[in-house]
Each structure stands twice: as structure tokens, then as C-alpha cells.
Amino acid sequence: MTTLLAIGDIHLGRIPAALHPDLAPQAAQLGPEAAWSRAVTEAINRKVDAVVLAGDVVERSRDLLVAYGDLKNGVEKLATAGIPVLAVAGNHDTLVLPRLAREINALQLLGADGRWQEKSVGKLNVIGWSFPRPQVRHSPLKDFPHISQPERVIGLLHCDRDQADSPYAPVTSAELEAAPTAAWLLGHIHQPDPLSAPRPIGYLGSLSALRASETGARGPWLLNWSESGVEIEQLPLAPLRYEALEVDVSQLERPEMLAEATLAAARGLATRLSKHEFMPDVVGLRIQWVGSCRFERELPTASAQLVEESRPWRERGMVLFIQKAVVRTQADFDLADIAQRSDPCGLLARRLLILANPEHDEHQRMLDQGRSRLLRVAGLREFQALDTELDDASVRDWLQRAGQRALLELLAQRRGPA
């Protein structure tokens, strides 16, 4: 058997995002450098045959000295244990990773100058391609070489999958399927793929959470190759983790009960995480209030107050904190009944019913109009740092929440029956 520890985007030099102010002094122990150190220790303990890095090892091209110490320390520890480190350059570290490879003898860069290159590891060959410049608008797979024993080859590539106009080495799923390898380990997208197929093809994801929106498990992947095939599993050893946590408010009578409901849901999450081999040190909670709320008008204010006033606390050996809370509830009123009215409340209720019915003739037109308006807002300077991907589900969610909030206000102003 040949084993690899495969690591996606590390982004050494990046500061952990969205920490609670009380946790700011611990930032250095929660970021990419700490996750890299844990991955190195795990590779040595498991005596893997090699560590492979799928690009964007470093956050910025000028971060030579920022990344040098931590990367060198880890690579040298691996070299002392007889574990080689193979890496491809991504769009973030096109310039700096080759320089680091020249400075750190045990770090081997694959595919320099945009040319495919193979390296033997145990009974495997790892084949990789590195960005020759920060932007590459053609598919590297168009020049993929002939492989004589594809069942013994692992592909390592930093690329943008199924994004034809991307400047970051666009490839298609069909190209990856057609390129003969036993597996494709990809970098660039921070959300990891399941990689559960007999022939794994997909993104490793970021080694640690780089944004609060990067929820779920983060860590390296252990790949085991044998004559019978490839097995791969994620080792979620990142010290910082963000989790989306739904809290049902349907049974709550008053806004003051939000804190108790949050604690109960957080304890349940901590219990689940504590049952795994690896536990994060810190978990940031991104709460979604769901269900039918009896105090819908007061919920946004109460939610914001809870986030602002909360402090980190400890559960089952982990520190938990509330990073964000958003309202996803359904207002406790009868839309069908209100829609019978001839006033603005009735008009708005009818629009909300259309949004809830994908089969309605006006449904798609409303989504398209909403997307057009939202994109104009998202283009403003104040919102450019936010995620502006507006698929139909996202647009419908925004419109439904805004419409419900407006309807609540209208009903309160008119004192009409809800």
C-alpha cells in the first residue's frame, strides 16, 4: 500500500476571519500555520509515503518571508522522517512557491513553467502542473501526456472546474474524467468535495476555514492506494471550524428565550463533534433561526442583540462563540387568507405565494427581476467583499425574507387581521 497525505489550499500568511474579539489573542493558534503544523504531525505519526500540496500554499506572492519559516519548519520535519513533499503552484503562489522550493531543499515543485511532470512515490506516480503565471485562461488538460499505467497515477492540479471563462486554469468535469489517472486531487475551491467515488475526482478544500462562510469539516485527506483501488478520507484536524446551526423557534414564546434555545442547539452540536477522532479547538456558530416565529417583528432586533452581547463559552473541551445569526423563519400568519384582501397587504401576500410556487407562470420572472436588482446592489463598493453568487434559490430566499418583513410591518401599521 502507498499512502499520501493530500492538502488543499493552505494560504499561509492569512489571518483567521471573523473571530470573536475575545479570541483575537489566539488567532495565531487557530490559523493556517497551526493547521499546517497539525497536518505535518499527523503525516509523521501515520508514516505516509508523501505529502502533496494542491497549490495556494501561500496567501500572497509577496509573502516569501511570511510563509518561509512555517513552511520550512514543517517540510524539514517531514524530510527528517523520510517523507517527501510534492507541491504544485496555484494562482496565489505562482511566483513565491518556486522561490520557496529553491530555498527549501526538501520541497519539490511539480510541473514548473506549466509543463506536466511526474514523480515516483512508493508504487505510485504523482503527476502535477503548476501555474506559470497568475492567470491561465486555457485548460492544462489539453496538454496532458500519455499515461502508460493510469491505475498507478494520482493527478495533482490547481484549477477552476466547469467555469469556462475563468482565468484560473479552467477545466471541465469531462476532461478530468477522460484524463487517465486513479484519482484527481484538486486545489482552488475551498469547499471540499465528498471524494467518495471509487475513482475520486474533486476538490480537497481549504486546510482550515479561511472565511466564516466556509462551514463544516476542514483538514487534509489521507489517501491509501493498493492494487484493489483508492480509498480516501478527510482528517478534520483544523483548530478552527465554523458550523451552520439551525435553531427552531417555533415553540418559543418570547425573544428572551432565544439564548436558552441557542445553548441547547450548541450543546447538541458539541456532543456530536466530540464523538469524532479530531475535535476543533474553537467553533464559530452561524445560527439560522427557523420555524414559525410568534414574535417575528422583534426577532431581528433580539437576534442582533444576542450576537452583540454573547461571549465565548466552553462545551466538551471546545470553545464556542456566536459569529452570526440570520432570520430564516416563516412569519406566523396565513398568506392565503391575507392574499384575498384588495389592499397592499393582499398584493404582497400574493407575490409571496408566487415565490413559494415554482410552477406559477410568474415565478421565474419574479426571480429574474429580483436578481437584476440584487446584482446592482451587490456591485456597490460597500458590498463587494460579500458573496454575490445569486442562483435562483438565493434570490428566492432574499425576496421571501424581505417580503415577509415588509408584510409584517404593513399589517402592524394597518392593524389588520394577520
Cell numbers 422583534 label which residue?
298
Residue 123 has pLDDT above 80, yes or no: yes
How confident is the prediction for the chain on average, in pLDDT?
91
Domains and CATH numbers, the chain: 2-234 (3.60.21.10), 240-414 (no CATH)
CA angle, 291 as apex, 388 and 341 as ends, to 5°? 85
Share of the chain above pLDDT 70, in %: 94
Task: Tell me which residue of 387, 362, 358, 393 sits closest to 375, measured CA to CA.
Answer: 387
Q: What is the pLDDT of residue 61?
A: 65
**pLDDT band per the 50, 70, 90 thresholds, residue 243:** very high
Task: Tell me which residue of 232, 240, 237, 204 sits closest to 57, measured CA to CA.
Answer: 204
Each residue's pLDDT tens digit, 246-297:
999 999 999 999 999 999 999 999 999 999 999 999 999 999 999 988 898 8
Contact 222, 235 (CB under 8 A): yes
Residue 37 has pLDDT above 90, yes or no: yes
Task: Tell me which residue of 158, 128, 168 sits closest to 145, measured CA to CA.
Answer: 128
**pLDDT band per the 50, 70, 90 thresholds, residue 380:** low
50-53 vs 2-7, strand pairing mode? parallel
Q: What is the pLDDT of residue 418?
A: 42
The predicted model scores a pTM of 0.82
Contact 273, 279 (CB under 8 A): yes
User: Position 137: which residue type?
Assistant: R
Q: What is the pLDDT of residue 294?
A: 86
Dihedral of the CA atoms 188, 11, 280, 217 (nearest 10)?
0
Each residue's pLDDT tens digit, 179-207:
999 999 999 999 999 999 999 999 999 99
